[in-house]
Chains A and B, each alone.
Chain A
Amino acid sequence: MGISTESQFHVLAVDDSLIDRKLIERLLKTSSYQVTTVDSGTKALEFLGVHEDDQSNSDIPSVSPNTHQEVEVNLIITDYCMPGMTGYDLLRKIKESSSLRNIPVVIMSSENVPSRISRCLEEGAEEFFLKPVRPSDVNRLRPHIMKTKLKDQQEDKQENKEEELGKPEFQSREEKEEQQQQQHHHLQQQHSNGNKRKALEEGLSPDRTRPRYNNGLTTVV
């Protein structure tokens, strides 16, 4: 069938308000995204497979199994004002995580505070939406999600090239491990359904019970 360009994207929505979670879920589903909603930053990190104590071990360079995503998430949209961990705190933790920092993050807020908006954008948020979120806002998500997917595909292509030309001389230990894993699993993937994905996920234990969301199969959360 060839490479599918219309694989489903999975969005993680974070909001402490039940009403707003219901709204954002409906909005995202109307745009054909798969959606998972959680009510706090802590639960979001749990879902993403990050354990808070790992974050403090910044001197461990390699990606340990605990920090792998258990499920692929293509975009995170989070409310700003939440008790405990704010959306900004969550954004920072995501950007500090080597396994999560490439996931685009969008912040929502009911308050139009310019300093808040610029702080979030500076910290790496792709967009800042004022609530209530509209369908036109949701349309703005697509390029950010596509950019990441495209980046994954380009990286895969790049690795193909490097396989042919031989490995570059200077590589960090992390990059080397990553590349070796990807080369090994890329060969395995060639006979699969052809979807381009980060091969790191293939490296996870085979007996995961969580369903996968990134290969075009519809799964119910």
Chain B
Amino acid sequence: MDGVAQLQKQLVDYTASLFQEGFLDEQFNQLQQLQDESNPDFVVEVVSLFFEDSERLLNELAKALEQKTIDFRKVDAHVHQFKGSSSSIGAQRVQKVCIAFRNYCEEQNIEGCLKCLQQVKHEYSLVKSKLETLFKIEKQLIAAGGSIPT
């Protein structure tokens, strides 16, 4: 019982810190609220889709920005998708970089775009590892017989 209480606290505190540090926003709460006994893995499923999709987009972006003649519309299209998906799961810091990224696309600013690509890769890897940690704590909690506090 002690173990469960501890894990619950750990989970609550960790989640709170992610919000405080701006990694996650209200939309992530919305996702959690859509999860219930009939859909117990909803958040993990959506976030997993986000990981897959993001990795694909990052590859496409890297490729597009390596071209001799950069097709900024193509780059922008990928960033638009990335902005959308990060917004849909509440990955706030990723979304913010995408907004700046799109501005550079509009200006056809190569340096700005390359800088944003690095930034978005960085923010993405941060939020990915944070979410993976979050899910690990949840798993431990459930394995210890506890339930995820709503």
Give the secondary structure class of B's interface: helix
Kindly state whether residue A30 has any CB partner on chain B within 8 Å: yes
Bitwise, B7-40 to A at CB < 8 A (1) or not (0) is 0000000000000000000010011011000010
Kindly state whether residue A18 has any CB partner on chain B within 8 Å: yes
Contact A132 B34 (CB under 8 A): no
Contact A17 B80 (CB under 8 A): no
Known: A110-B83, A131-B87. A18 touches B49 (CB 8 A): yes
Contact A17 B30 (CB under 8 A): no
Bitwise, B67-101 to A at CB < 8 A (1) or not (0) is 00000000000001101110111000000000000
Q: Which residue of A lies closest to B34 (CB)?
A: A26
Bitwise, A4-35 to B at CB < 8 A (1) or not (0) is 00000000000001111011001100100000
Contact A17 B85 (CB under 8 A): yes
A134 to B31, CA, bound (A): 10
Total number of A residues with any Cβ neighbor in B under 8 Å = 15
Residues of A within 8 A of B85 (CB): 17, 19-20
Residues of B within 8 A of A19 (CB): 46, 49-50, 53, 85, 88-89
Q: Which residue of B lies closest to A110 (CB)?
A: B84
Kindly state whether residue A81 has any CB partner on chain B within 8 Å: yes
Q: How far is the CB of B133 from chain A (nearest CB, A)?
A: 21
Total number of B residues with any Cβ neighbor in A under 8 Å = 20
A20 to B87, CA, bound (A): 10
Known: A26-B42, A110-B83. A20 touches B53 (CB 8 A): no
Selected contact of A81 from candidates B33, B34, B50, B80, CB within 8 Å: B80
Contact B84 A17 (CB under 8 A): yes
Q: Which of A19, A20, A30 has the most CB of B within 10 A?
A: A19
Q: Which residue of A lies closest to B45 (CB)?
A: A22
Known: A27-B34, A132-B88, A134-B30. A22 touches B49 (CB 8 A): yes
Q: Which residue of B lies closest to A83 (CB)?
A: B77
Q: How far is the CB of A132 from chain B (nearest CB, A)?
A: 5
Contact A132 B53 (CB under 8 A): no
Q: How far is the CB of B7 from chain A (nearest CB, A)?
A: 27
Kindly identify, within residues 52 to 74 of chain A, every residue whose CB is under 8 Å from any CB belonging to chain B. none
A27 to B39, CA, bound (A): 12
A18 to B51, CA, bound (A): 12
Contact A17 B88 (CB under 8 A): yes
Contact B39 A26 (CB under 8 A): yes
Q: Which residue of B lies closest to A29 (CB)?
A: B39
Selected contact of B27 from candidates A26, A81, A132, CB within 8 Å: A132
Known: A17-B81, A132-B27. A110 touches B45 (CB 8 A): no
Q: Which residue of A lies closest to B77 (CB)?
A: A83
Residues of A within 8 A of B45 (CB): 22
Kindly identify, within residues 102 to 124 of chain A, every residue whose CB is under 8 Å from any CB belonging to chain B. 110
A20-B88, A23-B88 are known; give 16 further A-B pairs, CB within 8 A.
A17-B84, A17-B85, A17-B88, A18-B49, A19-B50, A19-B89, A20-B84, A23-B46, A30-B34, A110-B83, A110-B84, A131-B88, A132-B27, A132-B87, A134-B30, A135-B30
Q: Chain A residues in contact with chain B, CB under 8 A?
A: 17-20, 22-23, 26-27, 30, 81, 110, 131-132, 134-135
